[in-house]
């Protein structure tokens, strides 16, 4: 699949099969994800592998689509609001790299925002100042949702003098 196709065909997966995923293989995609752009080489991302006890405590309504693996991606805090924002931007690039590499290999991801809840932060033992960019179900898709159309970029462009 070429990159254009890969980007357009990646979907947020709602439900997974019970086929296990290989954490070592996933780590190769996370390692590759680390080649994301990041200011001053801060590499602000951190990854938590969420074990069964922690996962049960999170009590996600849909149990992360019954994914065989759950990962949380954190973004380091910073002393200034600008650096904090840049960290989040870089970590989002890291996440997108990972999502695409997983998808290229037939592995889907379900992005959830549960980590932004204070109670979830506590369960995940998120250090102060860190952001939880997402908590992801990772596994082989049971089904792939239809693509949602996007607004053509021309409608979101301005040409400045």
Ligand X SMILES: Cc1cc2nc3c(=O)[nH]c(=O)nc-3n(C[C@H](O)[C@H](O)[C@H](O)COP(=O)(O)O)c2cc1C
Q: Which residues bind ligand X (CB under 6 A)?
A: 11-12, 111-113, 134, 145, 148
Cβ atoms 16, 70 nearer than 8 A: no
Nearer to ligand X, 38 or 112 (CB): 112
Q: Is 108 exposed, middle or buried (0-12, 13-18, 19+ CB in 10 A)?
A: buried
CB of 8 to ligand X, least distance (A): 9
Q: Phi, psi at residue 11, to the nearest 5°?
A: -130, 155
CB of 9 to ligand X, least distance (A): 9
Cβ atoms 101, 10 nearer than 8 A: no
Nearer to ligand X, 148 or 159 (CB): 148
Nearer to ligand X, 44 or 158 (CB): 44
Nearer to ligand X, 7 or 40 (CB): 7
CB of 5 to ligand X, least distance (A): 14
CB of 159 to ligand X, least distance (A): 27
Q: Is 112 exposed, middle or buried (0-12, 13-18, 19+ CB in 10 A)?
A: buried
First-to-last C-alpha distance (Å) of the chain: 39
CB of 54 to ligand X, least distance (A): 18
Nearer to ligand X, 148 or 158 (CB): 148
β-partners of residue 135 are: 72, 112
Distance separating alpha carbons of residues 53 and 21, to the nearest angstrom: 19
């Amino acid at each position: 699949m070429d990159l254009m196709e890969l980007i357009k065909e990646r979907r947020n997966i709602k439900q997974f099969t019970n086929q296990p995923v290989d954490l070592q293989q996933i780590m190769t995609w996370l390692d590759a994800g680390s080649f994301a752009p990041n200011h001053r080489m801060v590499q602000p991302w951190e990854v938590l592998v969420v074990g069964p006890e922690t996962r049960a405590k999170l009590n996600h309504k849909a149990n992360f689509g019954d994914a065989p693996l759950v990962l949380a991606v954190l973004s380091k805090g910073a002393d200034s609001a600008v650096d904090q924002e840049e960290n989040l931007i870089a970590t989002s690039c890291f996440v997108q790299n990972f999502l695409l590499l997983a998808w290229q290999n037939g592995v889907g991801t379900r992005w959830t925002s549960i980590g932004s809840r204070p109670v979830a932060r506590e369960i995940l033992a998120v250090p102060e100042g860190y952001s939880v960019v997402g908590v992801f179900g990772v596994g082989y898709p049971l089904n792939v949702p239809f693509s949602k159309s996007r607004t053509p970029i021309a409608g979101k462009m301005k040409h400045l003098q």
